[in-house]
A and B are shown apart, each in its own frame.
Chain A
Amino acid sequence: MAELNETIHQPVRLRIMAVLVALEAADEVDFTYLRDLLDVTDGNLGAHLRKLEEAGYIAVNKTFVGRKPRTFVGATAEGRKVFREHVAALESILKRK
């Protein structure tokens, strides 16, 4: 039976994972775009991304587009799997209602 994931369940991290899993596998989203989409501050988003990266659920890639530094974020295969399990666990709780 699928289990709830405490790291993912935190509200901001849940929203981050929902955005990243909505992308196709191997696609990454720009940090500033993700920040605007979630309506959070740079610092807040950075802190939550670190937690998810430490857990191995997302990958953060810093790169240059032209001369500007850009950060791209994407869900890892492990992150997608754990997120699917988390959603399944939420659905099973709801079925027992």
Chain B
Amino acid sequence: MNISPDEAEEALATIQRMTQKTRHSFASSGAYIFLIITGVVWLVGFLATQFLSGAIVAYIWIGMSLLGSALSILLGTRMGPRVRGPSASASAKRAGIFWLLLIIYGIAAIAIARPADGKQVTMFIILFIMIGQLAMGLLLSFASVWWALPITALALVGYFLLPGIFYLWMGILGGGGMIALALYIRSRW
């Protein structure tokens, strides 16, 4: 079999493109669905915190979180595994243990620091979630790292510069940003 150097170059470019697309896709597959769910939970929860008061806010957060978790589990189960095998299941197990430990460390940090108000608790939670996302992105796919940085920056700007509308800021830019990002991932990747 003989081919020209141009054909060889084209074939190598195709291989490189597919390898990149595959790694990118595996790292982000299904991520947009969970981003939309988290985005909606944040949007509704933070808007309720900004505009409502009393026990109803806690009920809305608990309700939205339970609904989001149930939807995530349902959709995750329905989608099923896209890649299976020793390395895929080992990665999933490590990711699960990592997030579990991060939650425990987060609770410990909040218990020690004893945040003065809801905004500080919110910032602790956001920072821990974004640290987790950054770690996952750096380990699994560098391409999925970048979105945790602007959300962290937005949260810090809201906390330090706009304390009066912090929850509104987080609801619209944090929650809405996740939904917009999910739609972008869906359309581009």
Contact = CB atoms under 8 A, between A and B. Distances in A.
Interface of A: 3-6, 9, 11, 14-15, 18-19, 21-30, 33, 37, 65-66, 68, 70, 72, 74, 87, 90-91, 93-94, 96-97
Given A25-B87, A65-B80, A74-B85, 13 more contacts: A18-B18, A19-B18, A19-B19, A22-B18, A24-B88, A27-B85, A27-B86, A29-B83, A66-B80, A68-B80, A87-B12, A94-B8, A94-B12
B77 to A, nearest CB: 8
Contact of B21 (A37, A74, A96): A37
**What is the predominant secondary structure among interface residues of chain A facing chain B?**
mixed
Interface stretch (B22-30, B48-56, B66-74, B100-108): B22-30
A39 to B, nearest CB: 10
B32 to A, nearest CB: 14
B14 A28 contact: no
A64 to B, nearest CB: 11
A15 B16 CA distance: 10
B9 interface: yes
Contacts, number: 89
Given A14-B11, A18-B15, A94-B9, A27 B22 contact: no
Nearest to A29: B83
B82 interface: yes
Given A24-B87, A27-B83, A65-B80, A93 B8 contact: yes
A36 B103 CA distance: 35
A24 B86 contact: yes
Contacts of B22: 18-19, 22-23, 37
Interface residues on B, range: 20 to 34
22 contacts: A3-B1, A4-B3, A15-B14, A22-B18, A22-B19, A22-B22, A23-B85, A24-B86, A24-B88, A27-B87, A27-B88, A33-B83, A37-B22, A66-B80, A68-B80, A70-B80, A74-B85, A90-B11, A93-B3, A94-B5, A94-B12, A97-B5
Interface of B: 1-5, 8-9, 11-12, 14-15, 18-19, 21-23, 25, 29, 77, 80-88
A24 B85 contact: yes
B133 to A, nearest CB: 23
